[in-house]
Amino acid sequence: MSALATVWVYIKKYWGIAVLVIGTVAGFFLFRKEQSGFADNLKKIQEAHDEEIKKIQEARAEEQRQHEANVKKLQDTLVAVQKHYDDAKEALDDKKKKEIADLVKQYGDKPDVLAQKLSEATGFVIILPT
């Protein structure tokens, strides 16, 4: 009992040191656990961030592939339209040439009528010399 009394007297006299020792030990255990949790949380956040960055990069790559496919499709369509236009223009030119030849054969001896018909067929204004 006297040892217990002696410890009690020391605690009463040096209570600040006892509180400091007990606080240090309690703080060590409390904060050590939180630091571990903080490190785990930080690691989870970093992994989630890396995963988001990877998904964003994959989405960007897919977007670029689609853009390139659309550009190629546009170019192919433009080439096809231009070819179709050239073919139609050539067919129209052949048709106009044939129509003009028929008009010349039909109205070759009547210059006034021929001029009027050629003007209607081609859209050009033909002025006859007087």
Give me the residue spans of the domains in the chain: 2-89
Residue 108 has a pLDDT of 76
Read off the pLDDT of residues 52-82 as tens digits, 9 standing for 90 and up: 999 999 999 999 999 999 999 999 998 988 9
Instruction: DSSP for 44-86, please give it.
Output: HHHHHHHHHHHHHHHHHHHHHHHHHHHHHHHHHHHHHHHHHHH
Check: CB of residue 103 under 8 Å from CB of residue 117.
yes
Q: How far apart are the first and last CA of the chain?
A: 149
- Confidence (pTM): 0.44
Q: pLDDT confidence of 33, banded at 50, 70, 90?
A: low
* Neighbour count for residue 94 (Cβ, 10 Å): 10
